[in-house]
């Protein structure tokens, strides 16, 4: 199956690709790599999931928010590349979690995005290297921000 076919089989819906919230590009292609700027929790209706993990939401809710960020990244890939099939593999994911100081389950939260990518590109090509960190705040109060690097076909 192709990545597009795998995504269609999941029955998930992409939100609109976000607009930059500052002076940067959402996606930059350099040779055979696509660098995707940090994306947030944009939903289908154009609103954002907001809240701090450990106060406004638990780890499971934050994991779903991270999946939503993954969907926003997929929307940007489709907008700029035309198809998820142009992506050969996930190279790197950096996940940032807006959380209370004693929250330590950052990797679990970012799995929401990583598991989505593994379903789209397969367990080998959909899983790259990754970092997951906790921060005291993120733009507009979103609970998760993720940036990624992809190798193109």
Tens of pLDDT, residue by residue over 105-129, are 999 999 999 999 999 999 999 999 9
What is the number of domains present in the chain? Answer: 1
**pLDDT at 141 > cutoff 90:** yes
In a domain, 19, yes or no: no
Would you tell me the crossing angle of helices 106-125 and 59-81 to the nearest 10 degrees? 40
Tell me phi and psi for residue 19, to 5 degrees: -90, 150
Is residue 65 assigned to a domain? Answer: yes
* Whole-number Cα distances in Å, 144 to 33, 65, 117, 152: 24, 7, 16, 25
For residue 109, is it within any domain? yes
User: Domain range spanning residue 144?
Assistant: 28-152
Confirm if 83 and 108 have CB atoms less than 8 A apart.
no
Reported as a single tens digit per residue, the pLDDT across 6-52 is 999 999 999 999 989 899 999 999 999 999 999 999 999 999 999 99
Q: Is 13 inside a domain boundary?
A: no
Instruction: Give the sheet arrangement for strand 33-39, strand by strand.
Output: 27-30, 33-39, 144-152, 87-98, 129-135
Whether 53 shows a pLDDT value over 90: the answer reads yes
Within-domain flag for 16: no
In a domain, 18, yes or no: no
71 neighbors 130 (Cβ within 8 angstroms): no
Sheet strands (E) in 77-116: 87-98
Give the tens place of pLDDT for each residue, 58-110: 999 999 999 999 999 999 999 999 999 999 999 999 999 999 999 999 999 99
Whether residue 63 lies inside any domain: the answer is yes
CATH of residue 111's domain is 3.30.1330.40
pTM, two decimals, is: 0.97
């Amino acid at each position: 199956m192709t990545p597009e076919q795998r995504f269609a089989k999941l029955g998930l819906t992409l939100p609109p690709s976000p607009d930059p919230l500052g002076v940067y590009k959402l996606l930059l292609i350099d040779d055979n790599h696509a660098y995707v700027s940090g994306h947030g929790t944009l939903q289908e209706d154009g609103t954002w999931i907001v809240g701090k993990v450990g106060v406004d939401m638990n780890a499971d809710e934050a994991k779903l928010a991270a999946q939503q960020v993954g969907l926003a990244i997929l929307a940007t890939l489709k907008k700029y590349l035309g198809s998820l099939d142009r992506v050969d593999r996930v190279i790197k994911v950096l996940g940032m979690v807006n959380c209370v100081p004693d929250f330590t389950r950052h990797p679990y939260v970012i799995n929401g995005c990583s598991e989505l990518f593994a379903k789209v590109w397969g367990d080998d090509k959909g899983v790259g290297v990754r970092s997951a960190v906790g921060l005291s705040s993120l733009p507009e109060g979103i609970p998760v921000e993720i940036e990624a690097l992809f190798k193109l076909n």
